[in-house]
Structure 1
């Protein structure tokens, strides 16, 4: 919603101010299709050269984050804490039963109660792999924590690729705008024998290239890259919470303490209250009974 509002504000303020100052859109609108073809086409072509097919698909998908915002909502953090509590409790009470849950999470009754989490492959794998490592009698919790840290860093690096690709495109757009403007000047110089009023329109059309490159870079593509980065960083807290809870479990804290560690490490705007989480945990226990 805010993404759409921001785009509307950008266009309204830029072009509204231009028209309020006495500018006419005729020259811009006439040159726009050709300039957009040169600048936008060159930018997309450079993007295709610099990225493989999976990265291109992922970037196209991640653009939606500008409008959708973070994937994980407050209720998802609460559900994650309930899921981890149940898994830790099973691991403490019946390690053999735990194996069936972590080896086939899609068939697990516990995981099945949290479909949004199950739909996220990385979250499920992180939980199952860490609990599997704990069942292998890792003596040093810090060793598992280090492995998790490296895994999360790798996941973050991969998730940030879309933001970096968009930012690279934004950095190149002003230069591509200059290329389009130079081509417009070359075209104008080929018609130097025309009257001043015609030359003026041709020069104005050429300058649209410079305007468009800068406008797209700093008004749209650059902010898109920043927003994607922000959303990825916010969603990363979900996976960090998994690490905090499961590492606390490796230190042999009680399940309740492990979950409280996770609750305290949840971002403030998504952190469930102690009472809300307590009620959710009670409901989960009753459902499991």
Structure 2
């Protein structure tokens, strides 16, 4: 019985993806109608400059947002795990974890209002015009990602043995040396996982980005969502196959790197 339930669960998850991949090779213009095997939509995707520009922008935004989320989220998790009790700790923890429970519509609207206020203050006080675009999307996605990174780092630091750091300090290592040689190597895999998680969240987001983006901030999810009004073409299916292939290739390379045995000493 359990095997049948597992098979049904896997089919429910993978059947839509497999259908999308199959129809990407259809010659028919209707996305979900088979018209014979063809690679025309992959060729059309390669010549679609709007999709390529939006994809590159999404990758740059996701990389920047993930890096900023790891920096801020790592510091947040460190404060919550190692600074003990301090005034305002409960409020700080609630604010840091708020993006985990707030609807994305509320988060996107709140960030939009914040950027509008900042833009108005910059124009009034300094004469600067700060338009919404890729920069505001990076900040918004970093706000979402840092909450996840903070939770991961806090949980990891709570499981570390503090005696290792005490031993390094007893041997004469300063706080910076202790962090660099003892703490950082132990939380580095957690930071890598947090970076990948924040990268994926940013690459997939359309709700928050639609609030804080401008004319120069059309990411790939926004472009695909806006194309629903005019009707999708099998180019979207081809794009899904490319993204799926890149994801599986990356996962395979990471798996081989993790399983690789270290060379023998001597």
Tell me whether the two structures share a fold, i.e. TM-score over 0.5: no
TM-score normalized by structure 2?
0.29
TM-score normalized by structure 1?
0.27
Higher Rg:
1
Bigger share in helix: 1
